[in-house]
Amino acid sequence: MTKQEKQATLNKALADKYGLNPAEHFWKQKQSGLWIVSHDAVMVIAEMEGITFSEPKENWEKLPNICILITATQTETGKSVWTFGESSTENNRNNYPWAMAEKRGKDRAVLMLIDAYQYG
């Protein structure tokens, strides 16, 4: 099974399980051609799974590069993960690098907690 096929299978499973609308909750990445779950969809998943976040911690700031540590916990199971959210002028074109780093970190943490991150 190719990476695209694995990802399509995972996206369908996420859409079915969490009631996500493919047209609204996924977007096509220009570079890879892959369909990516949106931040809004990940926040829907976090709410449904009872996932909470600790206050992000600055890990590294050397503008224009931002790196923050995100910790997330699934309330029901007590399972907790930490990961980093990064943003730089090479991978972010908006004027909000801190917000982008936070979004990326939260998305990674949620997908890790539901065992979906490894699919890309």
Ranges under pLDDT 50 in the chain? none
pLDDT of residue 58: 74
How far apart are the C-alpha atoms of 23 and 21, rounded to whole Å? 6
pLDDT of residue 3: 78
Which letter does DSSP use for residue 3 in this model? H
Within a 10 A sphere around the Cβ of 62, how many other Cβ atoms? 8
pLDDT of residue 78: 96
pLDDT of residue 51: 98
pLDDT of residue 89: 83
Q: How far is residue 8 CA from its own chain's centroid?
A: 16
